[in-house]
Structure 1
Amino acid sequence: MAVRHPERLESLIIQNGNAYEEGLREFWDPIRKYWNDRTPEDAKPLAEFITPEGVNWHYTHGVRNEASISPDNWEADLYHLTKEGNPAIQLALFYDYKNNIPHYPAWQAYFRKHQPPPLIVWGINDYIFPADGAYPYKRDLKNIKFHLLETGYFVLEEDGVRIASLMRKFLSTKLTLK
């Protein structure tokens, strides 16, 4: 939407949202392999992401305090991820992500041209979209509010109150009520 209708956006809030190839590191190696050769053999490592251990890992890897993360989160996700037909849907989503990458240059051009005020909040310990993908926003966006938080992929699970405060402060200075 931002690229097609830049006039519709007043600001950006980006939470571990990748728009740069620098943000696709080791985690993506088995997924890249699947992109190149979509075989059942290449799909096997990806199935690990929707096991109880894999879903738990998504929520707890890189957090400061695992005990502060409610197991209800991954139990609810696991319930839905393992429903009949959903593993195939997850594989299709992994495969489809490769279609985002060719759009990265257009997104970056949008950032440079339109300069929407950005708030970046990112888990510095995120292994899926590492902080390497957060820093390039600084190349393309001016007046950036940039926060690396000492947590993992699901930053809201551990730092939701802090992020809500950052968002309120950011939006109070960026939104125009119409």
Structure 2
Amino acid sequence: MKTMQPPKIIHRTVHINGLDIFYREAGDPSRPAILLMHGFPSSSHMFRRLLPALAQADYYAIAPDFPGFGYSSYPPTNSFAYTFENMARVISSFVTEKQLQQFALYLHDYGSTIGMRVALEHPEKITALIFQDGNSYEEGLGKEWDTAKAYWDNPTAANRAQLPEWLNAEGTRQQYVAGVPEDQLPLFSPDTWTLDWALMDRPGHVAAQFALFEDYRHNRKYFPQFREFFRRTQLPTLVIWGKYDAYFSVEEAACYKRDLPDAEVHILEAGHKALESHFEDICPLMLDFLKRRLS
């Protein structure tokens, strides 16, 4: 009996705005597309299981690495502005280069605000929104962000000294396991944070990541625009959140229902990097949502 081979993930690099942008893709480009937007400190590597699963369900899935992440170019801060506006500009150019006419967005962490800026620029292209622990509301920035907010409002040396240390090996690991119950820790592969830190621990790279963190304050000014986009478009929306997320409060998950009454919200017994520990829960939720809502 002939067995069906799982879809292959293809790894490519494309030249965008003077940068080499690495990406992974799976599936037939003529099928409905899903653009997968990774978060900090990860890369398209976080979608290594989701890409073939989506392709097998007859979707075209594509996941770029942002500049300064994964295997994309990581220019020094004196030659590239590490801002979310600039990241969105690169990804918008990537969308044009790849001739993505319409696509759903998977939005996680930093990728959420980058992806939503792309959506504001190309509203006619967006078919659906899938948020997985992504920030669009002030409620997501809980008490854990108090020192960051103080620094953003008044970036003095004293306020910087109050920031927790996170741009190091242990801070990278914590992005995955912070807040997660002890019995779930064996679900996480150390390959993830080991790879992330190996790529981040390159000359000038920590400075670039801190510059991007400093720019996060500007994302908050975009939240009203994101909400207006939600209200105006009423796109099919799936919200998946980790109950134990230590970075974006689970209180944000319910906020999407204010502007998107038909949004489907699922709270998982997971942390911030839920796709690592709860892929078997997230993938069926996504496939069911896409089958019902993506026309």
Q: Which has the higher contact order (CA 8 A, sep 6+)?
A: 1
1:93 and 1:30 map into 2 onto residues whose CA distance is 16
Q: What is residue 57 of structure 1 aligned with on the other side?
A: 174
Question: What's the CA shift string for 1:13-45, capped at 9, x where partnerless?
Answer: 011111111111122122112212334443345
Identity %: 39
Deviation for aligned residue 1:62: 2.6
Q: 1:11-22 to 2 correspondence within 5 Å?
A: 11-22=128-139
- Of stretches 104-113 and 44-53 in structure 1, the one that deviates more from structure 2 is 44-53
Describe the shift of the 1:78–1:87 C-alpha distance in structure 2 as closer, same or farther (beyond 3 A): same
Equivalent of 2:226, from 107, 116, 120? 107
Pair 1:30-2:154 in alignment: no
- AA of the residue aligned to 1:105: P
What TM-score, normalized to structure 2? 0.56
Q: What is residue 121 of structure 1 aligned with on the other side?
A: 240
Q: How many residues align?
A: 176
Equivalent of 2:283, from 154, 164, 168? 164
Q: What is residue 81 of structure 2 aligned with on the other side?
A: none
User: What secondary structure sits across from 1:92 in the alignment?
Assistant: helix
Higher helix proportion (structure 1 or 2): 1
Q: What is residue 71 of structure 1 aligned with on the other side?
A: 190
Q: What is residue 208 of structure 2 aligned with on the other side?
A: 89
User: What secondary structure sits across from 1:122 in the alignment?
Assistant: strand
- AA of the residue aligned to 1:159: H
Q: What is residue 253 of structure 2 aligned with on the other side?
A: 134
Deviation for aligned residue 1:118: 0.4
Contact 2:236 2:294 in 1 (8 A): no
Question: What's the CA shift string for 1:100-139, capped at 9, x where partnerless?
Answer: 1111011101111210010001111111101111111011
1:126 and 1:15 map into 2 onto residues whose CA distance is 11
User: What secondary structure sits across from 1:11 in the alignment?
Assistant: strand
2:209 and 2:280 map into 1 onto residues whose CA distance is 30
Equivalent of 1:7, from 116, 124, 129? 124
1:144 and 1:29 map into 2 onto residues whose CA distance is 29
Contact 2:241 2:266 in 1 (8 A): yes
What TM-score, normalized to structure 1? 0.91
1:4 and 1:80 map into 2 onto residues whose CA distance is 30
2:198 and 2:261 map into 1 onto residues whose CA distance is 42
Q: Give unpaired runs (5+ residues) of structure 2.
A: 1-117
Contact 1:10 1:116 in 2 (8 A): yes
- AA of the residue aligned to 1:29: D
1:172 and 1:154 map into 2 onto residues whose CA distance is 24
Contact 1:63 1:158 in 2 (8 A): no
1:56 and 1:115 map into 2 onto residues whose CA distance is 36
Question: What's the CA shift string for 1:38-79, capped at 9, x where partnerless?
Answer: 344433454611222222211112334111101111111111
Higher strand proportion (structure 1 or 2): 2
- AA of the residue aligned to 1:37: N
